[in-house]
Structure 1
Amino acid sequence: MTAAPSVPFSRFGALMLVAVGFALFLAMVWLIAAGEEFGDRGNDGQAHAAGTGLNGYAGFVRLLAAEGYDVTRSRSPSGLETYDLLVLTPPAYVDPEEFAELLQKREGLGPTLVILPKWDASLPPPILPEDAREKFKPGWVILTGAYPSEWAAELPEPYKFKHIKEALAKDEAHSWEGLGLSGRMPTRTMLYADSNARHEALIADAAGHTLAFKVIGEPGSAYNENAHWTIFVADADLVNNYGMAGQSRAEAALALVEELTYDGDISAVTFDMTLNGFGASENLLTLAFRPPFLAATLCLLLALLIVGWRAFQRFGPPALAGGPAIAFGKQRLIANGAGLILRARRLRLLGAPYAALSARRIAERLGLARPDPQAIDAALARRLPGEEPFTRRATRLEAASKPADILTAAQALDSLTTKLSQGK
């Protein structure tokens, strides 16, 4: 009997295969959860939290993170429902009714900072000289002009205001003051809000124009008494990457956040990116790792670990080493059957079955319908005259009891079958 073949993988090798496969699965889950953030694909040169151009707010995000805030860039509509500070950076064209509905919903959830868009920007054109293009980093833009947001005048009270553009002359100061700070704007092109009594100016320019204001509502109104504050930044250069280049403007941006976080009572800030076209629906894999589904996921992972651990343990006592290997196939089946007969010492019982099997073979070669011994003898006498009759050979096989006699009698029947097959 041949020895049992060796396993293709050791226990350690199988464990490594499972571990690597599980690690790849976790990597796939992370990539799906990362979504658009993977590879920094959100840095498209537009005015949002992932933009690194002059008009973007990536610098504002980094500033708040450096100050100890828990900053999140949200690509899910669920991020709009945060109870912490929400920063909205709407594009140049939004639906005033939908935006107003969002602001009204935020009144009972948490404070909101709205940064109105200012610049029309574009990526460097292909016609730029090669040496000039090489100076541009990913996400950098060319500012082509500033435009007010006309939809602000269509908002309901107390949010409604008119957004106005002003280009200062060279002899006019482009300075600002507010929140105990002061400084200069990076350009002479400025946007301001034509606010009213329902707004509290926080930052104004040298001419008294409101650059940032807090919505306070009518005195004694439900909004004034109960709503979370909303601050509008009319000139985005106070908080965008262009503005972050100046220390005084960075301090003003922090002061606006401190105003909305109630002097440190709120420590988390969410920058929404769904209004800028980066909304993504939830998927089952990412939901599985968030409450309340996280508990079920952890139980499933624990069950998988237990199953994996048990798979590497022995079930029951070990099999006897060196035992016969039962292989598949006719040859092995015959060999195993012969070994069983030898161990049982019942060789004398083989004669009659083998004689009956030989009768069927010989009858088939003689063209007989049935393996009748007398009919076989008569046909053999005509086909092979002079040969010993079949019945005599079969009787000798059935009467044999010793292995040598059984083998000799069986060979006599086999030789008769061979002669019939050869046409002799």
Structure 2
Amino acid sequence: MSDLTMGQGASGEGAFRPRTIALMIVVGLIGFVGMLIVGAYAPDLRSGRNGGAHALSNGATGYAGLVALAEATGRRPQIVRDKRLLDVPDLLVVTPESGYIDMSEVLGQRTDKPTLVILPKWATMPDKDTTGWVNYVGLAGRGNAERVLAPADKLTVAISRSQGFRLVSRAAREYGMRFTAPRPLQTFSGAGVLPLITDRDGRIVLGALGTRPVYVLSDPDLIDNRGLATEAGARAALELLDYLQHNGAESIYFDVTLNGLGHSSSPLKLAFSPPFLAMTLAIAAVLLLVGIQAVARFGPARLRPRAIAFGKAALIDNAATLVRRAGREAALGSRYAQVIRERAVNAFGVPARLRDGAIDDYLDRLRGRARFTDLATAATQAQDRHALAQAAQALHRWAITDNKETRT
């Protein structure tokens, strides 16, 4: 019996309507794709509002205010999250938060390009009441700032009390840069350093490392969010950027890769980025078509046939299958020859008095092109399926075609 017979009485109405199932599938697919995209770009979507000393931070020691001020005044600031973009010809502002951060890779790409390195000064802790704000714990210490450029450039950092006097702009008088010394004031010194901004005692606040266009700002309070609290401080910060951007470039770049906010490479992100995005969309289109093909049927449903069919033809086919699987096909030759003999006796009017060999002699004398006994012997002696088929066909032609006139 058929394996489908038992289910014919079942209702075609499922537990859910087709529209409900389709809606569940669509929502699931959208959620899955969204999860993949968020998982690929989650590191790149971090806002940086963690109170750190970098260009995305809105805390007192951050530089988000300087970025916003540069944007508002047409200086086109750019946030660098990819280390491959550090080799730009424009001014790059680097803000390492610790002396243990490796600066060699960044400075190696900036040997002949303007670069401003801002030394760390403060130790802070997150503010519990306002997200992104910080509270001062104290000074980070001279050793932390001295390790930023070591061992390539050995700097000596000093922290002194400040009376709030105006700093001296030695090599940049034409740009103004009228800074007021923060309290306390962090300065530095080193071999071959060219002073650009100093305090009254000649201690360097901003200096160039020899002939290279690499500048060091010892006190971040001059241009961080805290330093931009006054109009004079904001104006001086912009004048400082304009002075360091002396090559006429149109943008200012702020690096955040050293602050742990850079882009992360992953195979999943490559799937959503050119040129691999085209292949991803092609695969999505193929899956969509496969889904449509699975949901929407083209034409009426085709039922599977019964396991055991009805009628004599099915019975004969089953019997033939059993004989074939048993390997006994060649043994049927003699029986087929006997069937043809019996049909020939009736068809050709063989006298009833003849028996056995006399019948074969009578059939051999018919006008056929071959003798019946020869054909019957070939069928009886067949050893394989191919030989049996040829002998059976020859017997069939002898009975049907070769002796047609005799039969009529």
TM-score, normalisation: structure 1: 0.56
1:69–1:247: structure 2 CA closer, same or farther, 3 Å change rule?
A: same
| Alignment counterpart, residue 62 of structure 2, candidates 21, 39, 56 | 56
| Equivalent of residue 157 in structure 2, options 153, 163, 177 | 163
Deviation at 1:150, TM superposition (A): 2.5
Size of the aligned set, in residue pairs, is 303
Q: Where does residue 414 of structure 1 map in the other structure?
A: none
Q: 1:259 to 1:12 in 2, by over 3 A?
A: farther
Q: Is the 8 A contact 1:211 1:235 kept in 2?
A: yes
Decide whether the 8 Å contact of 1:48 with 1:273 is kept in 2: no
Letter in 2 for 1:151: R
Question: Percent same amino acid among aligned pairs?
Answer: 24
Partner residue of 1:283?
Answer: 266
Aligned to 2:182: 187
What corresponds to 1:87 in structure 2?
A: 93
Query: What is the one-letter code of the residue matched to 1:150?
Result: E
1:112 — aligned with what? 115
Normalising by structure 2, we get a TM-score of: 0.58
Counterpart contact for 2:58–2:133, Cα < 8 Å: yes
Decide which of 159, 167, 173 is 2:165's aligned counterpart: 173
- The whole-number CA distance in structure 1 between the counterparts of 2:21 and 2:91 is 51
- 2:191 is aligned with 1:199: no
For 2:10 and 2:80, how far apart are their aligned partners in 1? 63
Match for residue 243 of structure 1 among 227, 236, 241: 227
> Counterpart of 1:71 in structure 2: which amino acid?
Q
Structure 1 residue runs without a partner (length 5+): 125-132, 218-222, 224-228, 328-332, 354-424
Q: Report the structure number with the largest CA radius of gyration.
A: 2
| Alignment match, 1:72 | 79
Amino acid at match of 1:173: F
Alpha-carbon RMSD across the aligned residues, in angstroms, is: 4.3
The residue correspondences of 1:21-420 to structure 2 (distance < 5 A) are: 21-22=29-30, 24-35=32-43, 37-38=45-46, 40=47, 42-66=48-72, 67=74, 69-74=76-81, 77-78=83-84, 80-81=86-87, 84-94=90-100, 98-100=102-104, 102-107=106-111, 110-123=113-126, 134=129, 136-145=130-139, 147-148=141-142, 149-151=145-147, 154-156=150-152, 160-169=154-163, 173-175=165-167, 177=169, 178=172, 180-185=175-180, 187-194=182-189, 198-199=193-194, 201=196, 203-217=197-211, 229-262=213-246, 265-267=249-251, 269-274=253-258, 276-277=259-260, 281-290=264-273, 294-309=274-289, 311-312=291-292, 318-320=298-300, 341=310
Instruction: Find the residue that maps to 2:53 and give its secondary structure.
Output: coil
Partner letter of residue 58 of structure 1? Answer: A
Change in 2 beyond 3 A, CA 1:315/1:55:
closer
**1:59-83: CA deviation from partner (whole Å, max 9, x where unpaired):** 2233334445252252x65454555
Quote the Cα distance in structure 1 between the aligned partners of 2:75 and 2:31.
32
For residue 109 of structure 2, give the secondary structure of its aligned residue in structure 1: helix
Looking at structure 2, the residues matched to 288 and 261 of structure 1 have their Cα atoms a distance apart, in angstroms, of 38
Match of residue 397 from structure 1: none
Is contact 1:2–1:325 with CA below 8 Å preserved after alignment? Answer: no
Q: Say whether the 8 Å CA contact 1:152–1:163 is kept in structure 2.
A: no
Mapped partners of 2:151, 2:11: distance in 1: 82
Q: Residue deviations 1:190-209, cap 9 Å, x none?
A: 112336665251x3344444
Instruction: Work out whether residues 65 and 71 of structure 1, in 8 Å CA contact, stay in contact via their aligned partners in 2.
Output: no
Cα contact 2:177–2:237 (8 A) shared by 1: no
Rounded Cα–Cα distance in structure 2 between residues aligned with 1:283 and 1:247 = 44
Segments of 5+ residues of structure 2 without an aligned counterpart are 1-7, 320-408
CA distance in 2, matches of 1:246, 1:263: 28
Q: What residue number does 1:14 align with?
A: 22
SS in 1 for 2:103: helix
How big is the shift at 1:165?
1.8
AA aligned to 2:242 is: E
Contact 1:60–1:244 (CA<8 Å) still a contact in 2?
Answer: yes
